[in-house]
Every structure is written in C-alpha cells, then in structure tokens.
Chain A
C-alpha cells in the first residue's frame, strides 16, 4: 500500500470539487427547464375528418358503469368515453395515481383503490401501445412499499405488465401554482407533471376534514408535506387541482368506505357498489360521486371552490352522463 500524502488528499479534494462544479455548469448550460405542464385535459368536442368530410365528435362528460367485475367496469367506462386510444398514444409515458393512503389495509376495507381496477387500466394503456405505465402514490401512514404490498396493487399491476414506482425524494420540485388562490408554490413530484398521460384513480371514501375523499383529494399524494394542506384544506385541494391536471379520472366505487375514513378498518363501514365513475373533468367526477354517499356536490366545499375557479363543472344537470349497467 502506498502512502496517502497531503498532496494526494488535495488532488482528490480538488477533483471532487471540480466534479461538483462541472455538474453545476452542465445543468446551467442545459436549456432552462420550463416548469413542466401537466398533460392537457382532453376536450369533449373533437373535430374529425373522415370520408364524409369534416365533422365533430362529442364525447360524454361522464361514464358511470355498474354491476360487474372491476376489469369489465374499467373497460366499459373507458369505452364509453371514446376508448383508451382517445387518451393514450403509442409510446406515451403513462402514470396512474391510485390511493394507497393508509398503507396498512387490504383492498376489502375500501381504504385503497381496488387492485384489479388499477391493473385493468394499466393493461388498457399497454394495449394502446403506451411506452411505459407506472403506478405511484405516497401513502400517509406507512412506507410506500408496505402500501403497495398490503393493498395488493403491486401484485396485480406487475401481473398486468405495469411498473410500481416508489416515489424518490429527489424528484420533488418546488412548482409554481399560477392559478392557486391560497398556495402559489408547493413541492410536487416532477414525473407526475411531466407524464404524457396522468390517470387519477381515487377510491370514494368518507373523510373527517375533507368530508369525502374523491378525485381532487387523491392528488394530495403527489406532493410533499401534505399535512400542511389542512391549514386551509378545501381551498388548497382546489389549488392543487388547478396545477396537477389528470387526463382522466377513474373513480373506484367497487367498494366505498362510508365511515371512519380515510383509514377504515371495519368491514361494517364498507358498502359494495360495483360501480366505476370516469371522466376527463375531475370536478364532474367528484360531483357525481357525492351521490354515492347521499350528498350533493355543494355539500363538499372543495368541489364548489374548484367549480368557482373554473376547473370543471359541478352542475350534474348540464353534464352529458352515460350510465350503463353491465349484464342487463
């Protein structure tokens, strides 16, 4: 072994410092990264040109499918909205955001999104030629790895060919929220913002402070220090929904949790509805979902705030809703 001299030490220290500076320099030379925009929310009215000449296709705002296995519910709901190819193009980078919030429950407790439903959507995206389908969420009461394991989502998604991503700390970036009325900047997961397609897959649950946790509330799993949202919860949920814009929201009401949410733990609080509500307008999906609990959209403050902010429609009478019951 040769001696490690002071000169050696200085050499290595300088090399290390040089490497850090080089990394800084390269990042400074790279094109400035415009804060990425979330995927565009598709509009229901789409001009098309076919052999009959130019015309427009009008897709329904909401698809509500009842009575069937999760996979069939998901497929029918997406089909009613125009088919998966309306949303996913070949090679697209797709992220699915389920709810594994309480990392400790199995799916029967209706505290986490139904694993077969998530897997079905992952499979649909892969069938449409998606380049990559990742499923990610950061639970609030345990590690992400335990959440994916206990919920059964890891097993089903991997069977379907999707990837589970444990969200990396270094990928959260301070992100402007230009339309935010209370919060104007928050640490949001970069990949969620950069995805070609973001599919939001909440489960419908009762919730102490948010009253219900539905599509918009589910987006809180994409940020850091989510507990600080509670200082002005409803406004902040809406503010976040103005920045993180899912392409599609597919709400799981196969089972819903009617009390002791969002963590659950008592099968007596679970109601099996075998229902899926899907749509591009996250406010509309949430508005319809209030009816599962016998409530109206205006009963949930963040739905009202989001509609006031122009993020979507809470007027169920004006929405084009396609309702289907499978097998009837």
Chain B
C-alpha cells in the first residue's frame, strides 16, 4: 500500500482516497442489501459478536470461521474495518459535520480507554453467560435501528406521499406501477409498527450528533468492536510510518479523523486508533508519511488497557452480570413476553447478541425488542407482541435468519407444532361471553388443523326478549401453539379478549 505521490501509472495518494470512498459506499450498499434480504452474514463478520456468543453460549456459532478470518485480516490491516467497511463508521463519516464544526474541543486521551473497558466488560459478562452489553456493538445498533425505526419510518413517509399523490388522477397509474415495483422488494406490503422504534432512532441520532464534539467520537472513545480491532492493530503487520525527514508541519494531524496523529509525539500515531483511512498520506507535503509493514508491537499509550482499565472492565462486567442475576425471580418476569418459535429464555440471555436481524426478518412485524418491563438482563432481545403482529403459521424466517442460533432454525413442519405460548380467553371482555354478542373471530382465524378454539352453542335471550343461538369460544390448550393470530384479530377494542401468555 506504500504509494509514491507521483506514480508513473497515474496512481497517486488521491487515488487511494477515491478507492476507499468507493469501497465504503459499496460496503454500505452491501449492508443495506443484506439487511433488506435478512441475510445473516453481517453479524457473522463481527468477531466481537461471535467471540462473545461463543464464550457466553459455550458453543461455537455457525460459520464462526468468517469471524476468525476477519480477526486474522485485522492482524494484517489493523482497524481497516472501521475506515473501509463498517456501516456505522461510514455513516459517521458521511455525517461527520466537519463543515459545521468550527470549534475544537480537547477531549483528554484518557477517554479512549472507555472502549476497552466496554470490550472487557462484554467479554467478562459473557463468561457469566450474559450478553446484555452487546447492545453497544455498532453492527447491532445499525441493524436494530434500521429494522425498528429507519425502515418503518421510510415506509410511513413513502405511503403518505403515495396517498397524497394518488389524489391527482394523472399520477394514479404510474403510482400503482411504482408501488408494485417497490413492495414487497424494498418495503413491506402491510404496515408494520414498532412502538419503541423512537428509542433506537434517538440513540443513533445521539451517536451521530456526538460528531459535533469531535470527528468519529463514537469510534475513538466508545465502540467496543473498534476496541477489538484496535487490539489487533497494536500488533498488525501493515501500519502507518513516519520517517525522520518529517518537518512536523501538522497537516496530517488536522486531517486525521480519529485524532491519533499528534505533533507533540513527533506526528506519530497509534495503530490501535488508526483506521487506515490514508488521509494523512494524501495530506503530507513531503511524502514522509506512508503505510508499510512494521514488525513490532505498538508503543504503549496511557489509555491502553492495562491494570486499571482491565480491572475496571472486569469489575464492571462482573458487577453487571451479578446484579442482573440478583434480579427478579423468574415468576415476576413479564408473563406476556413470548419468545420466537423454539427460543428458550436461557438462550435469549446467553446466546442472543441483540442484533435485531429477526425483527427485520419477521414478515408480520410480530417480533419486537423487549424493554425494561421484561427482564432487564434480556434488554432488546426478541419478543412476540401479538397485538402488534402475529406469528405466521407457515413461516420460520426468524430461525433461518438468526446468525447465532439463539432462535433455532426449525424445519417448517416442526415450527408449525412448536408451542410458543398458550391463549386464554378473558370472559369479562369476550363479546359472546360478556355481552351476548356473536363474534368468534378467534375460532375462524385459528390456523392449526384441529382448531384450538372450541365452540359451544347455547340458547340465550336477546335484548328484545326473544331467544337466539350463541357460540361461546373456549381454548383447547393442548392444541394451541400460541401464534397469537386470535389476539391480533380480536375485534374487542383496547386489550384483546383473548391473550397469549408464556
């Protein structure tokens, strides 16, 4: 990668920057393509997710060799992932606010150790079979936010625009063609709702707005995946080099997006912080800064994870994991937190990396991220909320999509008979039971071959004094698989008169 400034082939340092911009754009498009098609490759590229899942779940997740390859690559290229491929890194670069940021805030270098502390805490908590802190992984943040906020928001906006333009007769035919091309390829045909999506939108917006303080603040100080790659970068083969003829002009320091080039340190940089963006190489007026092979460990920095940081991380991880365990006895868990088919509560704590791929994969929008009202240790793990969406009978998309088998990939036939909960009827709310009104939508909807809702016909008095036959529904618990279609469709306003409980 060591390039001369004026090469005979016309390839110069600017070409490297152009190449990087192109790779970033392509990688981001790749991220969107994987996201839209619910292909679980993204999280398998994440060595932190795979490592934490391996430690916590005590077994190797499928395709772990991909993450191993990424780690080996990092031993050559250091944090190149952050500067070239990471969708969060690319987003933060596109929305860097460099043009707007007229101030310079000096953040002490010591804060760089925060990301190492988070990394160590994730790993130690994983030893206690806890993965709650995986919510800090940048890829889980991206997928979760796109699934629950950005894509549903885009869908709402497009639908609103379509509804408005459909008032104009000349637009109607092209609109119909546009809509048919758009759905279900890019947007869902039915509207999916994610009541908690705003939380994730606010978090991502916050991470982006941190750029106003300093460029790539997230990558410098917080990102645990960046910390993982940073540790590899400390011993990586390919690194930035500065030779003796450097005139300390500070141009590279100004252009470095992670602020690791420091004139007071001889314009050198920390390979654990360098994201290989190559901007310094392009900005250098005398070609003293380049990238080449270095065979040694990086110099020690005050913020590097030794003693204090390691103990802080270990302490934080242990305290967190144990605090959660002190928590609620299982009886007090939210009884309506139904899990996707085949997923156990234990796997939700110990295997789920909170990536939200299942949320995107679910065609009915049934899968929602659990909140604090469930077990806080299982924050943002998938739960099915039937009033928002039901588990489609002949669908096993969540299990097929889960990158770490926290939701098992059940064959369709097995999934159809997998019990995720049981329905019960609230006779004080049910129309036939409470109000003498014919209804039985639940019975009609019930998708199992031998319906789990039984009907008892009784003769009852009508308001005008006559009699009529009324069908009363009851649940045959042994047949119910808890799909929640009855709860979703129950026409009673507010809380459904039939509910599924774990």
Taking beta carbons and an 8 Å cutoff, which residues of A are in contact with B? 1, 3-4, 20, 23-24, 26-27, 30, 33, 102-105, 140-146, 150, 165-171, 191, 207-209, 227-228, 230-231, 233, 260, 262-266
The main secondary structure of chain B at its interface with chain A is loop
Asked if A142 and B445 sit within 8 Å, CB to CB, the answer is no
Q: Knowing A171-B166, A260-B451, say if A207 contacts B444 (CB, 8 Å).
A: yes
A33 to B168 Cα, complex, angstroms: 10
Considering the complex, give the chain B residue whose CB is closest to the CB of A209.
Answer: B440
Q: Is B471 an interface residue (CB 8 A)?
A: yes
Beyond A169-B191, A228-B491, list 9 extra A-B contacts (CB 8 Å): A23-B165, A33-B169, A141-B445, A166-B183, A169-B189, A208-B444, A208-B455, A227-B441, A231-B439
A171 to B177 Cα, complex, angstroms: 12
Q: Knowing A30-B169, A143-B363, A146-B395, say if A266 contacts B447 (CB, 8 Å).
A: no
Q: Report chain B residues within 8 Å CB of A144.
A: 189-190
Please pick, from A4, A166, A170, the residue contacting B184 in the complex, using a CB distance under 8 A: A166
Asked if B438 and A104 sit within 8 Å, CB to CB, the answer is no
A262 to B443 Cα, complex, angstroms: 9
* A155 → B minimal CB distance (Å): 17
* B289 → A minimal CB distance (Å): 25
A20 to B166 Cα, complex, angstroms: 12
Q: Report chain A residues within 8 Å CB of B183.
A: 166, 168
Asked if A142 and B395 sit within 8 Å, CB to CB, the answer is yes
A149 to B123 Cα, complex, angstroms: 44
Question: How big is the B interface, by class?
Answer: 35 or more
A213 to B391 Cα, complex, angstroms: 24
Asked if B189 and A142 sit within 8 Å, CB to CB, the answer is no
Q: Knowing A230-B441, A266-B449, say if A146 contacts B166 (CB, 8 Å).
A: no
Q: Is B392 an interface residue (CB 8 A)?
A: yes
Considering the complex, give the chain B residue whose CB is closest to the CB of A266.
Answer: B449
Q: Knowing A3-B99, A166-B180, A170-B179, say if A209 contacts B444 (CB, 8 Å).
A: yes
* B386 → A minimal CB distance (Å): 12
* A290 → B minimal CB distance (Å): 18
Asked if A265 and B439 sit within 8 Å, CB to CB, the answer is no
Q: Report chain A residues within 8 Å CB of B191.
A: 169
A-B contact pairs, 24 of them (CB 8 A): A23-B167, A30-B168, A33-B169, A102-B447, A104-B394, A104-B447, A105-B394, A141-B392, A141-B447, A143-B184, A143-B190, A145-B189, A146-B394, A169-B163, A170-B166, A208-B455, A209-B443, A227-B441, A230-B491, A233-B438, A264-B449, A265-B447, A265-B449, A266-B450
Please pick, from B165, B179, B438, the residue contacting A168 in the complex, using a CB distance under 8 A: B179
Q: Mark B468-502, 1 if CB is under 8 A from A, else 0.
A: 00010000000000000100011100000000000
Please pick, from B166, B179, B190, B437, the residue contacting A231 in the complex, using a CB distance under 8 A: B437
Closest 6 pairs between A and B when the two form their complex, measured CB to CB? A265-B449, A27-B167, A104-B394, A266-B449, A170-B162, A170-B163
Asked if A260 and B450 sit within 8 Å, CB to CB, the answer is yes
Q: Report chain B residues within 8 Å CB of A140.
A: 445, 489
Considering the complex, give the chain B residue whose CB is closest to the CB of A169.
Answer: B159
Q: Report chain B residues within 8 Å CB of A4.
A: 99
A91 to B406 Cα, complex, angstroms: 54
* A59 → B minimal CB distance (Å): 34
Asked if B447 and A263 sit within 8 Å, CB to CB, the answer is yes
Q: Knowing A141-B445, A227-B491, say if A169 contacts B392 (CB, 8 Å).
A: no
Please pick, from B166, B364, B489, the residue contacting A227 in the complex, using a CB distance under 8 A: B489
A105 to B448 Cα, complex, angstroms: 11
Q: Report chain A residues within 8 Å CB of B431.
A: 231
Asked if A165 and B392 sit within 8 Å, CB to CB, the answer is no
Q: Report chain B residues within 8 Å CB of A1.
A: 99
Considering the complex, give the chain A residue whose CB is closest to the CB of B160.
Answer: A170
Q: Knowing A230-B439, A230-B440, A265-B447, say if A146 contacts B363 (CB, 8 Å).
A: yes
Q: Report chain A residues within 8 Å CB of B190.
A: 143-144, 169
Q: Is B385 an interface residue (CB 8 A)?
A: no
Considering the complex, give the chain B residue whose CB is closest to the CB of A4.
Answer: B99
Q: Is B176 an interface residue (CB 8 A)?
A: yes
Q: Is B164 an interface residue (CB 8 A)?
A: yes
Q: Report chain B residues within 8 Å CB of A266.
A: 449-450
Considering the complex, give the chain A residue whose CB is closest to the CB of B483.
Answer: A141
Q: Report chain B residues within 8 Å CB of A191.
A: 176
A103 to B190 Cα, complex, angstroms: 14
Interface residues of B in 318-364 (CB under 8 A from A): 363-364
Interface residues of B in 261-317 (CB under 8 A from A): none
* Among B168, B176, B440, residue most surrounded by chain A Cβ atoms (within 10 Å): B168
Q: Is B151 an interface residue (CB 8 A)?
A: no
Q: Knowing A30-B169, A143-B189, A143-B392, say if A171 contacts B441 (CB, 8 Å).
A: no
Q: Is B420 an interface residue (CB 8 A)?
A: no
Q: Report chain A residues within 8 Å CB of B384.
A: none
Asked if B99 and A143 sit within 8 Å, CB to CB, the answer is no
Considering the complex, give the chain B residue whose CB is closest to the CB of A145.
Answer: B184
A231 to B439 Cα, complex, angstroms: 6
Q: Report chain A residues within 8 Å CB of B485.
A: 141
* Among A150, A170, A231, A263, residue most surrounded by chain B Cβ atoms (within 10 Å): A170
A208 to B432 Cα, complex, angstroms: 14
Considering the complex, give the chain B residue whose CB is closest to the CB of A31.
Answer: B169
A104 to B447 Cα, complex, angstroms: 9
Considering the complex, give the chain A residue whose CB is closest to the CB of B490.
Answer: A227
* B170 → A minimal CB distance (Å): 8
* B440 → A minimal CB distance (Å): 5
